[in-house]
Amino acid sequence: MADPAIFLTGTGTGVGKTVVGCALAAAWAARGLAPRVLKPAESGCERRGGVLHPTDAWALREAAGDARPLDEVCPYRYVLPLAPAHAAEQEGGPPDLDRLLGMIAALRGRPGPLLVEGAGGLLVPLSPDVQMIDLARRAGLRLVIAAPLGLGTLNHTQLTVRAARAESIPVAGIVLSDLTGEDTPAARRNPGAVRELCGAPLLGVLPYLPGIGEEIRRGAGPGTPAAARLAGAAGRLDLGMLGNT
């Protein structure tokens, strides 16, 4: 079976996508698989020493143990917390699709898993005439969808699956992320409902990890307690469905 090569998208913003990405990367790194990560564009970056710092991309790189320069992991960065295409209207040029496709192709030519994390959901504009879904389709990557476990996830998850299938993008699986740890009727019913309604594999439920957001902002590189928590959480998922892991 081939190494995983996935495009990680969310059903929206704030659904736990980066934590899911870090968990996958940490699990692969713990197995010695040398994963590579790419965050094509990140908005809402802070300035640190005159340089834009992409918090999510940095967290992914740390969790993966990916030693490449941050400029290669996140080539397009913006201050404004907007879709990349809209932030670029005020901060310079938008992401270049051909350049990103070339970067992804080069990374796929190396051994080990590849995780490309989008911004927001599939229909977020990357440039005036390109959406995230276009990048995923043109790159030939399988899709992993991160969705929240709680109430409201069924509609958004089904819409994301349908959007992907309309563009002939294979859905490798769905990860439901427990963002609260609350035992609610929706949290109990939604995993089965996603299986019934989406017609796509449910990789599992990523358990609630209190404080993990702050831990990954400090760094969850291989060997850290945060990396162990992330890899342990990913152990609840059926990673074998993604490829040679």
pLDDT digits (tens, 9 = 90+) for 102-150: 999 999 999 999 999 999 999 999 999 999 999 999 999 999 999 999 9
Residue 18 lies in a domain: yes
The answer to whether 54 and 45 have CB atoms below 8 angstroms apart is: yes
Angstrom CA distances, 201 to 79, 192, 215, stand at: 36, 11, 29
17 belongs to the catalytic site: no
For residue 85, being part of any structural domain is answered with yes
Q: Which residue has the tokens 């040029």?
A: 93
pTM value is 0.96
Does a structural domain hold residue 241? no
Kindly tell me if the per-residue pLDDT of 245 is higher than 70: no
Q: What is the pLDDT of residues 49-104, one digit of tens each?
A: 889 999 999 999 999 999 999 999 999 999 999 999 999 999 989 999 999 999 99
Span 194-242, pLDDT tens digits? 999 999 999 999 999 999 999 999 999 999 999 999 999 999 999 999 9
The number of distinct structural domains making up the chain is 1
pLDDT in tens, 23-54: 999 999 999 999 999 999 999 999 998 899 99
Q: How remote is the C-alpha of 44 from its chain's centroid?
A: 16
CATH number at residue 223: 3.40.50.300
Catalytic option among 17, 39, 77, 229: 39
